[in-house]
Structure 1
Amino acid sequence: MKRHVVLATAVIFAAGAAFAETAPTEVTFEEGAVAQSLTGVPGNPEEGAKVAATRPLGNCVACHEISALSADFQGNVGPSLNGAADRWEEAQLRGIVIDAKHTFEGTVMPGMYKTGPFIRPGDAYTGKAAPADLPPILTAQQVEDVVAFLMTLKE
């Protein structure tokens, strides 16, 4: 019995190691797209919708119109995300969410899974430079969830 428990634990550990999370500095872009999942775990569209609509998380609706979400305010700074799945492939959407500057030069959209380089990031509203490396806005799984949600947005 002990041998089976040890073997099962080793198999579970090895399977988990095969799907190690990709660090922000290790993301590989190809023409703005990121083909490989950051987590190896499928995104959850319902969780992605929450991230897109929640101010302390992704807050996509601050800049984008997303008719599938009921938010008090929807922005018009960025393009409408209605029909996003018809305009972009999954890898392209992942690349845009991770760091849109690889696709749209000069965009004001922040890199959601990026730790640098930044142009003088501030420390909240203190007027001082950030004291250390900044964490990404979203986790790797939240990126996958947002991409899964965006893939549901068809015309």
Structure 2
Amino acid sequence: MLAAMLILPTLPAFGQESARRGVVPYEVEGDGIVRPLTGAPGDPNRGAALAADRQKSLCVLCHPGPFPDQHLHGTLAPDLAGVGKRLTEAQIRLRVVDNKRLNPETIMPAFHRVTDDPTVAAAWRGRPILGAGEVEDIVAWLSTLKE
């Protein structure tokens, strides 16, 4: 299934309703989103702090990685150490924005997509979990993780 995803043409990501709800327009090219959502790279220091924030980004709930308080890391998802060596910035961006485009069965939430799905907590329904700048900050930080 993943091989089929890699040969997809450029696809629009969302409709007008998503844009009204705070989702920035983006295009998926192959298995990534090449252009930053904000038109500029994010800040890796802000991204590191955001990724370690259990209440905002939720990364540490599932992923182990180079975070403080290692005893609080999740073990459900891949280790983020070395992700910048394994994936391109565009591939990382798509996985943060909407990993369900690559793996519809993933438990990872789509951080920059709007859903009215009743299985999504009411606090997150109808708006993205992360804004475009926050996505770019996390992408910038993850891209630095080469070891």
TM-score category of the 2 structures, normalised to the smaller one:
0.7 to 0.9
Gaps of 5+ in 2: 1-21
TM-score, normalization: structure 1? 0.73
Please list every run of at least 4 consecutive aligned residues from structure 1 whose deviation after the TM superposition is greater than 6 angstroms.
Answer: none
In terms of Rg, which structure is larger?
1
Percent identical residues:
37
Give the letter for the 2:36 counterpart: S
Equivalent position of 1:69 in the other structure: 67
Q: Encode CA deviations 1:61-98: one digit per residue, 9 max, x unaligned.
A: 110011x2113500111111110011100000000000
Equivalent position of 2:140 in the other structure: 148
Alignment check: 8 A CA contact 2:62 2:76 kept: yes
CA separation of 1:92 and 1:119: change in aligned 2, threshold 3 A: farther
| Distance across 2 between alignment mates of 1:92 and 1:42 | 15
Gaps of 5+ in 1: 1-22, 125-129
1:36 corresponds to 2:35: yes
Count residues in correspondence: 125
Question: Pairwise CA RMSD of aligned residues?
Answer: 1.9
Q: How does 1:5-154 map to 2 (within 5 A)?
A: 24=23, 26-66=25-65, 68-71=66-69, 72-116=71-115, 118=117, 120-124=119-123, 134-154=126-146
